[in-house]
Amino acid sequence: MASVDVVDETFLAVPPGVVAAAFSVPSSWRSFWPDLELSVYADRGDEGLRWTVGGALVGTMEVWLEPMLDGTLLHYFLRADPPTGAFSPRDALREVQRRQLAAKSVALGLKLTLEDGRPAGCPPAG
């Protein structure tokens, strides 16, 4: 069976608690991952969340928030299979690429929103 295994990292120039708050509201998950049904199995506070995944894929997903410099390194992991049957190698590659783009879209969307226009290399306001 060809599986989906996605890993992504993005630096956000905000503290881990700010990033954690963006993931803490279950209703936001549907906007990030509209075809996945998520159930938290480990809420690690400012260090992130771990979910079991159902819906379009079945497996596990994690957002790990690592303090780094004056911000957060957002690590994203998705390990899953189709709910029935198996992906062909070609379909698995397409699904991995689609999920990679979706993961980066979520991370960059949060970066844009949470950094609120903070210029690169400048300290946070206040």
Check whether 116 has a pLDDT greater than 90: no
* CA atoms of 85 and 22, how far apart (whole Å): 34
Q: What pLDDT shows up at residue 12? A: 95
Q: What pLDDT shows up at residue 124? A: 64
Mean pLDDT of 116-125: 72
> Is residue 126, in this structure, part of any structural domain at all?
no
For the ranges 48-52, 87-91, 100-104, 105-109, which has the lowest average pLDDT? 87-91
> Is residue 57, in this structure, part of any structural domain at all?
yes
Domain with 9, as residue range(s), is: 4-115
Q: How far is CA 45 from CA 25, 31, 64, 84, 110, in A?
A: 12, 21, 10, 33, 18
Q: CATH code at 70?
A: 3.30.530.20
Residues 24-63: pLDDT tens digits?
Answer: 999 999 999 999 999 999 999 999 999 999 999 999 999 9
> Could you give the number of structural domains in the chain?
1
> Is residue 120, in this structure, part of any structural domain at all?
no
> Is residue 51, in this structure, part of any structural domain at all?
yes
